[in-house]
Amino acid sequence: MNVSGRTYPQLALDLQLCFPLYAATRAVTKRYVTLLKGTGLTYPQYLVMLVLWESDEPLSVTSLGQRLRLDSGTLTPLLKRLETAGLVRRDRDPGDERRVLVSLTEEGVAMEEQVSGVPQQLGASMGITRDEALALRDQLTELVDHLDTAESP
Amino acid sequence: MNVSGRTYPQLALDLQLCFPLYAATRAVTKRYVTLLKGTGLTYPQYLVMLVLWESDEPLSVTSLGQRLRLDSGTLTPLLKRLETAGLVRRDRDPGDERRVLVSLTEEGVAMEEQVSGVPQQLGASMGITRDEALALRDQLTELVDHLDTAESP
DNA sequence: CGCTATTAAGTTGTGCGCAATATAGTTGTG
DNA sequence: CACAACTATATTGCGCACAACTTAATAGCG
């Protein structure tokens, strides 16, 4: 149907930002399935590994969650799967038995080298320049910040 | 850890496009939960309704899937929930008994008016201008197109 | 016409996301 | 020290996504 002929033209799928955003995330995730085949990692698991590789020390579930904006309901089972895969350890913090500290195993550390080419491969699939990617990244980061501070109506 | 001190600086979470994209989608989806409260719709269900409101005639599961890039494994249970909610009907196409035609009920048609303010409310939460949103939409659409045609490693 | 290939939808199983809740450990206050 | 408030993680339940597979219907070809 022609958009201009609609009672509520603002509801047209093609005019909205939300749908391309949603579709882009799923397309990127799908691309990661291919790129991460061989590691056994899913995309969210890969993100957790990125955070752990960045850190000099073990991280609690909460700090992982703050970095990735994920809660324990998502992270706990995901971390158990990484533990089963032999990539991380989960140990109670002796100084505070409520906390679980997540640390990399040797195998987990070693995997960093294995995926070091992934960002570049993904960049190639996206068909945009590095500068465009960085600009897009900044716009999306700003969008997230705004949405986080706009909890009211 | 300082990015410049890493063995694989390209793996830094903050330097990559994928994470802001992933976080933005989840933030937008979360915002929709608030905006759609009262309708009983989830965000994917809202997208299906957008496509149906756009269409003059009933749509098959496959055509809905092509429009939203979703397969029957996602759509079939979602459509059953919309049917249970009284918003759509699902009828076998008499001309081709393999196809299921999805059409809006009166209640489903009526809901369009109820959500007509949602796009504008979401726009307000995102803190970007209409033009910025449209530019972002175009960039993301292009990104999806590239990823779709880049299936090979 | 009869048979094979194709197509459409549905089913199954896995892994997120996230709200709501439960449980255990810690902190702060009197 | 007792105990209430708080914090960290885990659990439960629901709804996607999607790969892989199944079932049923149609199309096409000899």
Structural domain includes residue B8: no
Structural domain includes residue B1: no
- Return the percentage of chain A with pLDDT > 70, whole number: 95
Q: What are phi and psi of A143, to 5 degrees?
A: -60, -45
At residue A2 the predicted structure's pLDDT band, cuts being 50, 70 and 90, is low
Same domain, B107 and B129: no
Burial class (CB within 10 angstroms; exposed 0-12, middle 13-18, buried 19+) of B38: exposed
Same domain, B101 and B143: no
- The CATH number covering residue A80 comes to 1.10.10.10
| Token pair in block for residue B66 | 């092509």
* Mean pLDDT score, B20-34: 97
Q: Which of residues 50-69 of B touch strand C (CB under 7 A)?
A: 60-62, 65
State the nucleotide closest to A80 in CA–C1' terms: D10
**Cβ distance of A27 and B153 shorter than 8 Å:** no
> Which residues lie below 8 Å from residue B2, measured CB to CB, with a gap of 6+?
none
Structural domain includes residue A84: yes
Residue nearest to nucleotide C17 (CA to C1'): A74
Q: Is the model more confident about A9 or about B91?
A: B91
Please tell me the distance from the alpha carbon of residue A115 to that of residue B7, in angstroms, as a whole number.
12
Of the candidates A115, A116, A147, which has its C-beta nearest B28's C-beta? Answer: A147
What is the model's pLDDT at position A14?
A: 84
Q: CB–CB of B21/A142 below 8 Å?
A: no
Q: Per-residue pLDDT tens for A60-114?
A: 999 999 999 999 999 999 999 999 999 999 999 999 999 999 999 999 999 999 9
Same domain, B101 and B129: no
* Mean pLDDT score, B136-145: 94
Q: Is the model more confident about A130 or about B28?
A: B28
Structural domain includes residue B6: no
What one-character-per-residue DSSP string does B9-47 give? GGG-GGG-SHHHHHHHHHHHHHHHHHHHTTTT--HHHHH
What is the model's pLDDT at position A152?
A: 41
Structural domain includes residue A30: yes
What is the model's pLDDT at position B149?
A: 81
CA torsion through residues B60, B62, B68, B73, sign: positive
Q: Which residues pair with A101 in a beta bridge?
A: A60, A91
* Mean pLDDT score, A25-30: 97
Q: What is the mean pLDDT of chain B?
A: 93
Q: Which of residues 11-30 of B touch strand C (CB under 7 A)?
A: 22, 26, 29-30
Total domains in chain B come to 2
Structural domain includes residue B93: yes
Domain of residue B99, residue span = 14-112
Q: CB–CB of A44/A36 below 8 Å?
A: no
DSSP assignment, residue B91? E
Does the CB of B146 fall within 7 Å of any strand D atom? Answer: no
What is the model's pLDDT at position B12?
A: 87
Strands (DSSP E) found in chain A: 59-60, 88-93, 96-104
Q: Which residue of A has its CA nearest to B8?
A: A116
Measure in Å the smallest separation between the Cα of A93 and chain B Cα atoms.
22
Structural domain includes residue B96: yes
Angle at A19 (CA atoms; ends A124, B50), nearest 5 degrees:
155
- B5 pLDDT higher than 80: no
The order of strands in the sheet holding A88-93 is A59-60, A96-104, A88-93
| Token pair in block for residue B79 | 């459509």
- B144 pLDDT higher than 90: yes
What is the model's pLDDT at position B133?
A: 92
* Mean pLDDT score, B111-138: 93
Same domain, B82 and B151: no
| Token pair in block for residue A65 | 């969650």
What is the model's pLDDT at position A13?
A: 86
At residue B147 the predicted structure's pLDDT band, cuts being 50, 70 and 90, is very high
Q: CB–CB of A43/A95 below 8 Å?
A: no
What is the model's pLDDT at position B6?
A: 82
- A133 pLDDT higher than 60: yes
Question: Using N-to-C axis directions, what is the helix angle for A18-36 and B43-54, rounded to 10°?
Answer: 120
At residue A35 the predicted structure's pLDDT band, cuts being 50, 70 and 90, is very high
Does the CB of A94 fall within 7 Å of any strand C atom? Answer: no
Structural domain includes residue B88: yes
- A1 pLDDT higher than 70: no
Please tell me the distance from the alpha carbon of residue B41 to that of residue B46, in angstroms, as a whole number.
6
Please tell me the distance from the alpha carbon of residue B98 to that of residue A61, in angstroms, as a whole number.
48
Q: Which of residues 66-105 of A touch strand D (CB under 7 A)?
A: 72-73, 75-77, 79, 90, 93, 96, 98-101
- A128 contact residues in B (CB cutoff 8 A): 139, 142-143, 146
What is the model's pLDDT at position B54?
A: 96
Q: CB–CB of B23/A47 below 8 Å?
A: no
Q: Per-residue pLDDT tens for B46-77?
A: 999 999 999 999 999 999 999 999 999 999 99
What SS3 state is found at B120?
A: helix
Q: Is the model more confident about A1 or about A96?
A: A96
**Cβ distance of B144 and A13 shorter than 8 Å:** no
